[in-house]
Chains A and B, each alone.
Chain A
C-alpha cells in the first residue's frame, strides 16, 4: 500500500535526522540544535504511531 510505504520512509528519515542532530547537539552545545533534536524525536514517535496505528 502506497500510504503505508511512505510511513516507513518517514520513520527512516526521522531516525536519520534525529541521529544527525543529536551528534551535532552533543558536540556543539547549541540550544537551537538541541531543540531541533527534540523536534526530530517527536516526529519519529509520531511516524511510528502513524505507521503502526
Chain B
C-alpha cells in the first residue's frame, strides 16, 4: 500500500496497480490454500479429533473476531475505495464461515458424527469462490478494463452540464488501484485558447467533485466545426453591382452559405454605416462576422 502511492520519473502514472497485483497474489494464495485443504481431506488417513470445551470456545472466538473486524474493515475499504482493504475484509468473511464449519464439525464429533473431512472440503469451495472473484477483479484492473457504467454516466452528465460544451465526442476511463484516470474529447463553443482552457479546467474540477479518487483528467478540446460561411461583397448600389472600393462602398451584400452543399441560406444588402469614417471603414465587413470578402471582378456569390 505504501509502495502503491509512490510516483517517480520511471513511473509517472504512479504505482497504484501494486494494490491490484497484491489482490491477485492473495487470490493465488487462496487457491493454494484450497488445494492443500482438499488434498488433506481426500488423501489423509482417518483421524478422530479430541474435543475439549476450551477448544470449542477458541473456535467460537476465531469466528467472532474476523466477523467484527471484517465489518469495520469493509466499511473503511469502501470509504477509501481501496480494493486491497475490501479484498481483505472479504477474506475475513470466509473465515467466519469456515470457523463456523469447524465449530459444527467439532460439535458433531462430540455427538458421534464424523464430518471433519466434509467440513474441510466445504471450506475449500468457499475459499476457491472468493479466490476466483479476487483474481477476476484484480485482472480486470491490471488489463485496463473500463470504469464501471455508472461512473462513466456520472462523468458524461458532468461534462454535458458545462454550458460551453457543444458535444461530448467520447469519454472513457480506467482504474489503477483505488484511483481513476479519465479521458474525454469534447467540442466547445469557444474560439480562444484561453476560454477553452478555462472550460476544461472547470470541467476537470466538476469531475473531481462528482467522482471520488480521480488521479488524472485528460480532456481533448476542439472547436465546434463551422458549418456555414458568411460572404460579404462591397456594392455600388442596391442592384448588386460590385464596387471597386471596399471601405468606401455605400452598401454591402451579405450571404450565408452552407459549407456541406453550398446552398445559400440567407442574403441581404445593408448600407455601410461607416462610409463617412476616415479610417478603418473596411472593418465593417469583419465586424459582421464575414468569413470571406468578395472584391472587384467577382460578380456572383458561390453557388
Q: CB within 8 Å of B: which residues of A? A: 1-4, 6-7, 9-10, 13, 16-17, 20-21, 23-24, 27-36, 38-40, 42-43, 45-47, 49-53
Interface check B151, CB cutoff 8 A: no
Residues in A with CB closer than 8 Å to B32 are: 42
Interface size on B, residues (CB 8 A): 60
Q: CB within 8 Å of A: which residues of B? A: 1-5, 18, 21-22, 25-26, 29-30, 32-33, 36-37, 40-41, 44, 47-52, 55, 58-59, 61-62, 65-66, 69, 73, 76-77, 80, 82, 84-85, 88, 91-92, 94-95, 98-99, 101-102, 105-106, 109, 116-117, 119-120, 123-124, 127, 178
Other-chain residue from A2, A28, A31 in contact with B120 (beta carbon distance below 8 A): A31
Q: Flag if B50 contacts A16 (CB, 8 Å).
A: no
Other-chain residue from A16, A31, A50, A51 in contact with B116 (beta carbon distance below 8 A): A31
Closest to A21 in B: B62
> Count the A-B residue pairs with Cβ separation under 8 angstroms: how many?
144
- The complex places the Cα of A43 from the Cα of B88 at a distance, in Å, of 8
Residues in A with CB closer than 8 Å to B51 are: 28, 30
Other-chain residue from B65, B84, B116 in contact with A3 (beta carbon distance below 8 A): B84
The prevalent SS among residues of B at the interface is helix
- The complex places the Cα of A6 from the Cα of B1 at a distance, in Å, of 10
Residues in A with CB closer than 8 Å to B5 are: 1
Q: A3-B85, A27-B55, A42-B32 are in contact. Are A32 and B116 (CB under 8 A)?
A: yes
Other-chain residue from A3, A23, A39, A40 in contact with B82 (beta carbon distance below 8 A): A3
Other-chain residue from A31, A40, A49 in contact with B41 (beta carbon distance below 8 A): A31
Residues in A with CB closer than 8 Å to B50 are: 27-29
- The complex places the Cα of A2 from the Cα of B82 at a distance, in Å, of 10
Residues in A with CB closer than 8 Å to B101 are: 32
Closest to A40 in B: B95
Q: Flag if B59 contacts A33 (CB, 8 Å).
A: yes
Q: Flag if A43 contacts B62 (CB, 8 Å).
A: no
CB proximity of B177 to chain A, nearest CB, Å: 10
Other-chain residue from B2, B33, B62, B85 in contact with A38 (beta carbon distance below 8 A): B33
Closest to B30 in A: A42
Residues in A with CB closer than 8 Å to B109 are: 30
Q: Kindly name the residue among A6, A16, A35, A39 whose own CB sees the greatest number of chain B CB atoms within 10 A.
A: A35
Residues in A with CB closer than 8 Å to B65 are: 13, 16-17
Other-chain residue from B48, B66, B120 in contact with A32 (beta carbon distance below 8 A): B120
